Structures are given as C-alpha cells and as structure tokens.
C-alpha cells in the first residue's frame, strides 16, 4: 500500500484548466472555517475503473469540496481484499472498491464495519477469448483466468459458466479450469496461448484484445437490464460516517462534481486518469487502450443496488459466500441530500430497487 498526502499530489489550477476540467464546487458543501480539523484517510485503485477517484484526487475536486479543515490522505491498493483489510485495521476511513469485496467485508463483520454511500462506475468487464473460440460450448476442457478467487469478476465468470451448463470448483477442477492470477500475468499467459481467455476488468479486457489478439465473447453489460451493474462504489467505515457525516457529505459533493466533469469532457478526463495511473504505477496506458476501455464504462453515483444483491446471490450459488443478509449495507441518505439540493432524483438502495422491479443478471 502506498500512501501519499493529497496536498502533494494535486495539480495546480493552471494544469487543470489546460486539461479542460473545471471543478464545480457546490453550495451544499458544509464545512466551515471554525469546524473541527479532521483527517480523511481515503483509498482507491490505480486503474481506469476508478477514474472518478483518480480525477477527483488529482484535480483537487475532493479536497476543495472537503474544505480547508479536512486533510485528505490517500492510499492506493491493487485488490479489494487489501482495501478491506486496511478498513478492518483502521488504516483508512473510506475507499472505492468493487462489489464482492464490499459484500464479503460486510458479511464478515455482521454488517457492522462499513456502509456503501455512493456508486462510481458501472460496466467495464468482459470475457475475452482466443480468436478460434466463437461459442460457449468450445470452452469445455479449457483454462480461463480471473483476477482473484471470490472477486467480482471471478464470481461473474463462475455464474456465467454455470448458466451455460459447466461445472467448476474452487480448486481448478470441473469442466472448465479457472485459475486466479494478476491481470498482468493473465495478459502474458493469453499471449503465449497458455489460457483460452479471461474474465477481466478494464483496461485489461481491451489489452487482451489489442495486445493478445483476442475478442470479446461476453460483454458483461449484455447480461444486465439496461446494461448497468456496479463495478466500483464508495464505502465508508460506519464509525467514521456516524462521527463525521459533514465530511462524507462534502466528499460526495466532490464526487458528483467530478463525475459531471468527466461527462462534460471525456478526453480531458482520460488524460488526467492516465497521468494519475502513470504517477502511481510508473506505467502509462496506450492512448488506444484507455480510449477503448472508456467506451465500456459508465460513471454514475447510482450504486445500482439491484446488481449488488445479484452478485451476492451468485457468490452464494457458486459456494464462495455463505448466505448473507444485505439489509443495512447502504446508507444513501447523504448522497440523496446532495442530489436533492441540485434538483436531481434520489437513487434507490436495495428496497427501492426491489420496489421498482429491477432485476439481476440475465433478466433483460
């Protein structure tokens, strides 16, 4: 885990203006000059599915919304398990993260340690296979990779294989062997012909196509109503949320503003995201790669609660999760206050999604 003070990482306003991003600070930001000084320890991942976090940090949108009495300290992670362990260990107060690690963390603590307070990113995950594979039936006897056992893409892969009549197990056996490895290793293995494909997030799906000669067999968006499913959302430690709701509300102001600016100038947002990834990893995505990945992503503060329940149900079905009750995992009160102050419609949690008849994977 690398930690850096946001004050050292924020670009100057001149650079932001040059990138074409205008930070809009809403009047609903509520920190005042005489409020208590607070440090918000904040996590995210250096990848394109966390673009709102990267843009919000590196343009200064989050810090400006938080105000001068809040110090934003940032930490970056490579996997959801690392971020959850940091939250468990009181090393961070909030983090962007994928759905299944959030579910696992909620379940492991009997619903005590975390709350989902907003969405961030939808889409951006695909099953990419070698050019000779054109039908699901051809995957029998092959090896498919996913980033981590029990992770978001691993669960999606196992659920899809089960829907297509394949048996898998957690030790790599079954009709299709599933191996779990780092995305960089997956690209190498795919290029060398050691695996038939992989269910991976962006930008790795695009890299498997551009650099590995593969093609998309399943774009996960096609499995969900309206193509929407949660890829990344924002979670906060329950204790911090209860003690500092003003801080989290202001962070959400910054998030809403950031997603607005991403939508207003996607090219500039891609540049800031790629700069941020390079600064954190010393590796820069090719322009063609980030542009291709961006086309598969939808940035939204709606956490798409119906898809979270389906992800939990899928994890239970493939024996990666014990039955869990997710009531209480969402606290969207502050987000909906921010939206209401802008004249926007509220976003639903689990109960609202059920009441609206929103279904899960494969129901469209």
pLDDT single digits (tens) 170-205: 888 899 999 999 999 999 999 999 999 999 999 999
The domains of the chain, with CATH numbers, are: 2-124+228-355 (3.40.190.10), 125-226 (3.40.190.10)
In this prediction, residue 361 has a pLDDT band, given cuts at 50, 70 and 90, of: low
Contacts of 287 (CB under 8 A, 6+ apart): 274
pLDDT in tens, 299-310: 999 999 989 988
Instruction: Render pLDDT for 50-104 as a digit per residue (tens, 0 to 9).
Output: 999 999 999 999 999 999 999 999 999 988 889 999 999 999 999 999 998 999 9
Report pTM.
Answer: 0.84
Whether 294 shows a pLDDT value over 80: the answer reads yes
Q: What is the largest CA-CA distance in the chain?
A: 65
Distances in Å between the Cα of 225 and the Cα atoms of 200, 263, 299, 330 are 20, 22, 17, 21
What DSSP state is assigned to residue 312?
H
Token pair listed for 48: 């394109």
Residue 260 has a pLDDT of 97
Task: Using the predicted structure, report yes or no on whether residue 149 has a pLDDT greater than 80.
Answer: yes
Q: Are 102 and 114 in contact (CB under 8 A)?
A: yes
Contact 36, 68 (CB under 8 A): no
Q: At residue 34, does pLDDT exceed 90?
A: no
164 or 325: which carries more pLDDT confidence?
A: 164
Q: Please, is 26 exposed, middle or buried when counting C-beta atoms within 10 Å of its C-beta (0-12, 13-18, 19+)?
A: middle
């Amino acid at each position: 885990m690398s930690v850096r003070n946001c004050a050292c990482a924020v670009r100057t306003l001149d650079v932001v203006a040059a990138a074409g991003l205008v930070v809009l600070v809403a009047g609903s930001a509520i920190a005042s000059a005489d409020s208590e000084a607070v440090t918000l320890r904040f996590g995210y991942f250096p990848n394109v599915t966390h673009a709102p976090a990267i843009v919000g940090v590196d343009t200064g949108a989050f810090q400006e919304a938080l105000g001068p009495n809040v110090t934003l300290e940032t930490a970056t992670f490579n996997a959801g398990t690392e971020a959850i362990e940091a939250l468990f260990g009181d090393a961070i107060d909030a983090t962007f993260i994928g759905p299944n690690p959030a579910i696992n963390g909620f379940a492991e603590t009997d619903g005590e340690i975390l709350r989902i307070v907003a969405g961030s990113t939808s889409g951006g995950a695909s099953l990419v296979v070698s050019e000779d594979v054109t039908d699901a039936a051809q995957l029998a006897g092959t090896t498919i990779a996913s980033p981590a056992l029990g992770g978001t893409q691993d669960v999606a892969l196992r659920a899809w294989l089960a829907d297509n009549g394949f048996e898998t197990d957690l030790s790599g056996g079954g009709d299709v062997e599933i191996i779990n490895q780092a995305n960089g290793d997956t690209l190498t293995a795919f290029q060398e012909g050691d695996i038939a494909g992989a269910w991976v997030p962006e930008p790795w799906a695009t890299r498997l196509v551009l650099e590995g000669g593969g093609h998309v067999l399943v774009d996960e968006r096609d499995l969900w109503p309206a193509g929407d499913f949660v890829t990344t959302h924002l979670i906060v430690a329950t204790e911090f949320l209860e003690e500092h709701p003003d801080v989290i509300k202001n962070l959400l102001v910054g998030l809403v503003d950031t997603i607005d600016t991403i939508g207003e100038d996607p090219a500039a947002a891609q540049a800031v995201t790629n700069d941020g990834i390079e600064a954190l990893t010393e590796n820069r995505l090719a322009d063609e790669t980030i542009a291709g990945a961006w086309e598969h992503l939808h940035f939204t503060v709606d956490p798409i609660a119906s898809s979270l329940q389906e992800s939990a149900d899928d994890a239970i079905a493939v024996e990666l999760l014990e039955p869990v009750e997710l009531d209480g995992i969402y606290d969207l009160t502050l987000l909906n206050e921010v939206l209401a102050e802008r004249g926007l419609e509220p976003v639903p949690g689990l109960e609202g999604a059920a009441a609206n008849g929103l279904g899960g994977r494969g129901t469209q």
